Amino acid sequence: CHVKAVGFILPQGAAAKVALLHVACGTCQKGLEQLCSDPDVLNCFSRCGPSVALGTYHHKEEIQLHQAGQIMKMKVKFNRMPLVSAPLLAESGRHFSVEIDGDDHQFEDPTQFAAGLADVKQFAAAATPNLETSQQSAAASQATPSAAAWLGG
């Protein structure tokens, strides 16, 4: 079955987690929603993106997470998905990176990304006051769909 990883981070920083789920699985999505509402699991964490398609795995196959010289093994148990990792280190409350089965992945808090995008738009508008209003509107409408797509995915 195809498996993906979804990142979660504490807004205060220092800790993150990765959840493993089946790709396009309504049952996994509902299970993840329950885990996100549980204060002992993911309730205090913010979802990060982008999600990462990890590939095809077999039942009871191990996925290895490497970070800061530590190795964490997660056994893919289809009947118990979604699975949530033990806490990982976060560089800040905005992002964290982890190596999953040999590939590096960066997860970022989308609210921080959106705030940064808004700052960039505001700076660009202030730095270019001579642009026509229609040019500013066109630039904003071109930037918005890509940000919306990133935030929704």
| Interstrand relation of 103-108 and 95-100 (parallel, antiparallel or unpaired) | antiparallel
Tokens standing for residue 50: 């982008």
Return the pLDDT at 149. 39
Return the pLDDT at 132. 45
**pLDDT single digits (tens) 110-143:** 876 554 444 445 544 544 444 444 444 444 444 4
Residue 45, φ and ψ in degrees, nearest 5: -95, 150
Segments of the chain scoring below 70 in pLDDT: 112-153
pTM: 0.72
Return the pLDDT at 112. 63
Distance in angstroms (rounded) separating the CA atoms of residues 138 and 91: 36
Q: What does each C-alpha distance from 84 to 16, 60, 71, 118, 133 come to in angstroms?
A: 10, 15, 15, 32, 48
Return the pLDDT at 120. 43
Return the pLDDT at 147. 36
Return the pLDDT at 151. 38
Residue 153 gets which letter from DSSP?
-
Return the pLDDT at 14. 84
Closest residue by Cα to residue 7 from 118, 87, 117, 102:
87
- Residue 117's Cβ-count burial label (10 Å; 0-12, 13-18, 19+) is middle
| Interstrand relation of 2-9 and 88-90 (parallel, antiparallel or unpaired) | unpaired
